[in-house]
């Protein structure tokens, strides 16, 4: 888009000049949160003027809308957890849909080729604002956090999308949000958050409920056990569920990695990171498990995303980064989404 400016020369003659305007950049269409499943890429875009769910063939094709035109999704960067997740084995996509922007998200299922959304669990979560925090398509399973709209309480659930069964896990006034799940899905880490970074951790065991194991909840605080800012998050169970690897501010205000043995949860050990190649200022923003002892470590440096792949040595308490996924060359100076 161009603006036409009219000016006058010293001789008094009128001239016109074209000046670039920022609207051309602001009107660019968004393509966010891509997921590859089979021959298709599923993603959220506003190519219709509102955010909706689409798919296109891997390698290129015309985007196919998967939701009716009267349904708009929220910007995925504003939604906690996943806005959608593909469950190819079920032939369904889990989509978190609200009512005309009220942010009271409900878990809905649509066919892979698109269609009318149907509630994943009937009316069991009606009256709650729901987020899909963890999804495991290989098990047709997802973990949800549900905030009541009538009382100050958060409830955690595990849902079987194949059967429609919803299993209650725990509840808390202070979040109780799910942060990690063991590989056999018998244990999970739940976090209560009080003031900024003041996190208290609980271990949930199936059939037993949750048990406190780190941090000081209000009823256990005294001079010997004061509240502490730890900002523990993005935790991952390590091999054979021996320990937890997580992001924390305990050792660095710009965040780093910490490790906790599950047979000694009173102590958090710092994890040394090597292999970073970025320069500038920023912080560690996320940790994800890939497979085995391989992890993704994400930084925000001067506003740009740097994503590394590396190996965790549990005995040495070290993470060696050996592959730059984004932050260089064509993927430099960008912000990761999805």
Which residues, at least 6 apart from 105, have a Cβ–Cβ distance to it below 8 Å? 74, 79, 96, 97, 98, 129, 130, 131
Domains in the chain and their CATH numbers?
A: 29-173 (2.130.10.120)
Average pLDDT, 10 consecutive residues per value, the chain (338 residues) = 50 60 75 95 95 95 96 92 97 96 96 98 96 97 97 97 97 95 96 91 95 87 77 95 96 97 95 97 97 97 97 98 96 87
Residues 51-105: tens digit of each pLDDT: 999 999 998 899 999 999 999 999 998 899 999 999 999 999 999 999 988 999 9
Residues 252-268: tens digit of each pLDDT: 999 999 999 999 999 99
């Amino acid at each position: 888009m161009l603006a036409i400016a009219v000016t006058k020369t010293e001789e008094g003659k009128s001239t016109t000049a074209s000046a670039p305007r920022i609207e051309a950049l602001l009107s660019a269409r968004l393509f966010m949160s891509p997921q590859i499943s089979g021959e298709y890429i599923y993603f959220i875009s506003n190519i219709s003027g509102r955010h909706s769910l689409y798919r296109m063939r891997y390698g290129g094709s015309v985007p196919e809308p998967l939701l009716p035109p009267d349904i708009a999704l929220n910007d995925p960067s504003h939604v906690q957890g996943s806005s959608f997740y593909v469950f190819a084995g079920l032939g369904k996509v889990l989509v978190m849909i609200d009512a005309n922007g009220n942010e009271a998200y409900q878990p809905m299922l649509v066919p892979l080729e698109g269609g009318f959304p149907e509630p994943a669990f009937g009316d069991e979560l009606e009256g709650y604002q729901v987020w899909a925090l963890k999804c495991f398509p290989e098990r047709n399973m997802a973990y949800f956090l549900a905030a009541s709209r009538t009382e100050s309480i958060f409830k955690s659930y595990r849902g079987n999308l194949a059967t429609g069964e919803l299993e209650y896990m725990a509840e808390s006034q202070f979040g109780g949000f799910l942060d990690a799940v063991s590989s056999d899905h018998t244990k999970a880490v739940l976090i209560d958050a009080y003031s900024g970074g003041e996190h208290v951790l609980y271990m949930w065991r199936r059939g037993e409920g949750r048990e406190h194991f780190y941090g000081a909840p209000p009823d256990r605080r005294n001079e010997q056990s004061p509240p502490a800012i730890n900002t523990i998050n993005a935790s991952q169970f390590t091999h054979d569920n021996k320990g937890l690897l997580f992001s924390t501010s305990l050792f660095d205000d710009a965040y780093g990695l910490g490790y906790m043995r599950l047979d000694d949860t009173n102590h958090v050990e710092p994890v040394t990171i090597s292999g970073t190649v970025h320069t500038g200022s920023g912080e560690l923003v996320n940790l994800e498990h890939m497979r085995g002892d391989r992890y993704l470590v994400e930084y925000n440096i001067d506003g740009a995303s740097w994503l590394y792949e590396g190996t965790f040595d549990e005995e040495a308490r070290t993470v060696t980064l050996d592959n730059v996924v984004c932050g260089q060359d064509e993927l430099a100076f960008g912000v990761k989404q999805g």
